[in-house]
Chains A and B, each alone.
Chain A
Amino acid sequence: MKEYFHSIRIDPEKCEGRMKCLRVCPTQAIRVRNAKAMIIAEKCIDCGECITACPHGAIVPLTDPFGELAKFRHTVAIPSPALYAQFGREILPEKILSGIKKLGFDDAFDLALTCGEVSFAIQEYLREYKGPKPLISNACPTVVRLIQVKYPELIDQIIPIELPRELAAREIKKKKSKQLKLKEKEIGTFYLTPCPVKMISIKQPAEKGESFLDGAISISDIYGPLLSAMEGIEKGSYRKALENICILGVGWAMVGGICRTLRLKNSLAVSGLGEVIKVFDDIERGKLRNIDFVEAYSCAQGCVGGSLTVENVYISYNKILKLIETLEFEQIKACPDIREVRKLYSQKYFFIKGKFEPRPLKPLDKDLAKAIKKRKEKEHIYESLPKIDCGACGAPTCLTFAEDVVKAEAELIDCIFNLSQRFKEPSQGFSELFNKYSFRSQTKSSPKKHAKKEKQ
């Protein structure tokens, strides 16, 4: 089986097996075994929900430490536009970029401009695309992974345009290596990331190509030092700083930003994994075939809601929104030249190198006849379970437990309601206690009802 690299690690020393992560995982990828949580690599889509849910900080995102910088002759920081929403309203991107340079990077690059180019490239792609609709933005790596795992038939609807951070890194390496007479690999490009999933999209891009970035540093790690670094910086003219902001690019920090700044009429924007799933179900049924473009983010409100950001998500969302409104009102358009973008587009400058491939989950069995048998067995087991999803067995729901049993990854007696089977002759006290709980008799009720609920 293929190994999947993930950006999330569980520290067994810190994990107390309290199962908070078990319940929040949207793809049921976590199990608690021997009182420690573990992740099923095949099912994980790196959304980071578990990181936020863990009360002990035992689940850690795998981002790069600052020390990585020393490996390179020249280093460039490429902050996600979500970073621009982390500070007070008076602090504009210009100041933030100067602050980053004071932290030890040789240069800091404004990604908003590249985002703007990519927005235009998306517009071009939408214009000439003739296949099934809607097209889906690839901005969120978790969403791309969700499609690979759960909606493989939508894979050709993902926009195959390279992500701004990758394009930026590619171009920076080209340009700087010439300028500074260095090799491309001597130039380190670091993404300042709002979420852990960007890390794997660097280590293992969904399209199986290669990343141009050398690492990712968490916004939450850099926040404190950056705040101090910015203290000494002279306040320039607010208006002048405003004039350098690409409105199209700033939109990438929040859900709906791409649609709004491109003024796409027939599009929709969705955020939060549960909501994304609802929209994708509708796309799959052909219900949204009249929509041209869907912008979908795993985190609520988009990248500003990433688990590695610091500011309250609604405040940072509002900051981006207000910034866009101000730029719209002042009619500031510090955006790339669309003719230039069109020229580059026709030269295939913007397209990803690889191809998105589905990553469907392993079926219950390789042989269809056996898989059918196992599926029936799973239903049979499920019907015998209390269906209260207590999690004590280590699986998030009774249904996933039934599946684990069929796959021989768990045993029926792992369910505490089957505990009595462990004892040949349960003591009378135990039997009385056990019979007090009426869960078992409840499960015998109408099977039709349960068939409906089975969805989850």
Chain B
Amino acid sequence: MSNENELSHRFEINGRDFSNAGRASTSIKEILQEIGIDSSIIVRAAIASYEAEMNVVMYARRAVLTLNVTPEKLHLKLEDEGPGIENIDLAMKEGFSTATDEMREMGFGAGMGLPNIKKNADEFEISSTPGKGTTIKITISLDSTENK
């Protein structure tokens, strides 16, 4: 699948690893800046990937976040091993959260993570198997933006 017009990067994220949380989203931002993606798109990708990363750190055991960029589209895929989500519709509601008090104390768990990822994506897919893990795929379209 290694297309010469496709840039892909793989990031590993570990559950409870708060000190490294945010690294993947920072790298993603830097890569996108280097190839000249419009800053309004970069900020969407950075927020979506950061929220995804934080979800892993807070709830899952580990995950792989993959970035794929072609001249037309930007894809982010997050596959985690973790508890999964029982009721996806409920989890997608703004303000719904299963965060512990400790997490809220740190400023997380406002129930905005998944809705925020969706808000920043053009296409959003989520699937989950309780007890096994969750997969989120998002696409951001690059067509409309001129490269500067």
Q: How far is the CA of A281 from the CA of B12 in the complex (A)?
A: 20
Q: What sequence of 0s and 1s flags, for each residue 85-120 of chain B, a beta carbon within 8 Å of any chain A beta carbon?
A: 000000000000000000000010000000010000
- Partner of A371 from the list B4, B9, B116, B147 (CB cut-off 8 Å) is B147
Q: Which residue of B lies closest to A287 (CB)?
A: B107
Q: Which residue of B lies closest to A285 (CB)?
A: B50
- B40 and A153 contact, CB distance less than 8 A: yes
With an 8 A cutoff between CB atoms, is A365 at the interface? Answer: yes
Q: Closest CB-CB distance, A284 to chain B, in whole Å?
A: 6
- B46 and A365 contact, CB distance less than 8 A: no
- A363 and B5 contact, CB distance less than 8 A: no
Chain A residue total in the interface (Cβ 8 A): 33
Question: Among residues 335 to 373 in chain A, which have CB atoms less than 8 Å away from a CB atom of chain B?
Answer: 358, 360-369, 371-373
- A373 and B39 contact, CB distance less than 8 A: no
- B39 and A152 contact, CB distance less than 8 A: yes
- A363 and B35 contact, CB distance less than 8 A: yes
Q: What sequence of 0s and 1s flags, for each residue 430-456 of chain A, a beta carbon within 8 Å of any chain B beta carbon?
A: 000000000000000000100110110
Q: What sequence of 0s and 1s flags, for each residue 1-42 of chain B, a beta carbon within 8 Å of any chain A beta carbon?
A: 000111101111000000000110111011101111101101
With an 8 A cutoff between CB atoms, is B129 at the interface? Answer: no
Question: Among residues 55 to 73 in chain B, which have CB atoms less than 8 Å away from a CB atom of chain A?
Answer: 69-71
- B23 and A452 contact, CB distance less than 8 A: yes
Q: How far is the CA of A152 from the CA of B23 in the complex (A)?
A: 19
Q: Which residue of A lies closest to B6 (CB)?
A: A372
With an 8 A cutoff between CB atoms, is A290 at the interface? Answer: yes
With an 8 A cutoff between CB atoms, is B47 at the interface? Answer: yes
Size category of the B interface is 35 or more
Q: Closest CB-CB distance, B95 to chain A, in whole Å?
A: 15
With an 8 A cutoff between CB atoms, is A235 at the interface? Answer: no
- B26 and A364 contact, CB distance less than 8 A: no
Scoring A153, A290, A403 by chain B CB atoms within 10 A of each residue's CB, the highest score goes to: A153
Q: How far is the CA of A374 from the CA of B35 in the complex (A)?
A: 8
Secondary structure of the A contact surface, majority rule = helix
- B35 and A368 contact, CB distance less than 8 A: yes
Q: Which residue of B lies closest to A358 (CB)?
A: B39
Q: Contacts of A366 on B, CB cut-off 8 Å?
A: 36, 147-148
Q: Which residue of B lies closest to A371 (CB)?
A: B35
Scoring B35, B46, B69, B71 by chain A CB atoms within 10 A of each residue's CB, the highest score goes to: B35
Q: Which residue of A lies closest to B9 (CB)?
A: A451
- B23 and A364 contact, CB distance less than 8 A: no
With an 8 A cutoff between CB atoms, is A286 at the interface? Answer: yes
Q: Closest CB-CB distance, A131 to chain B, in whole Å?
A: 14
Q: How far is the CA of A282 from the CA of B40 in the complex (A)?
A: 17
Q: Which residue of B lies closest to A378 (CB)?
A: B34
8 A-B pairs with least C-beta separation: A363-B36, A371-B35, A153-B43, A285-B50, A152-B39, A369-B71, A368-B71, A372-B7
Which residues of A come within 8 Å of B, CB atoms?
150, 152-153, 281-282, 284-287, 290, 358, 360-369, 371-376, 403, 448, 451-452, 454-455
15 residue pairs of the A-B complex, CB under 8 angstroms, read A153-B42, A284-B46, A286-B47, A286-B50, A290-B107, A360-B33, A362-B36, A363-B36, A363-B148, A364-B34, A366-B36, A367-B147, A369-B71, A371-B35, A371-B36
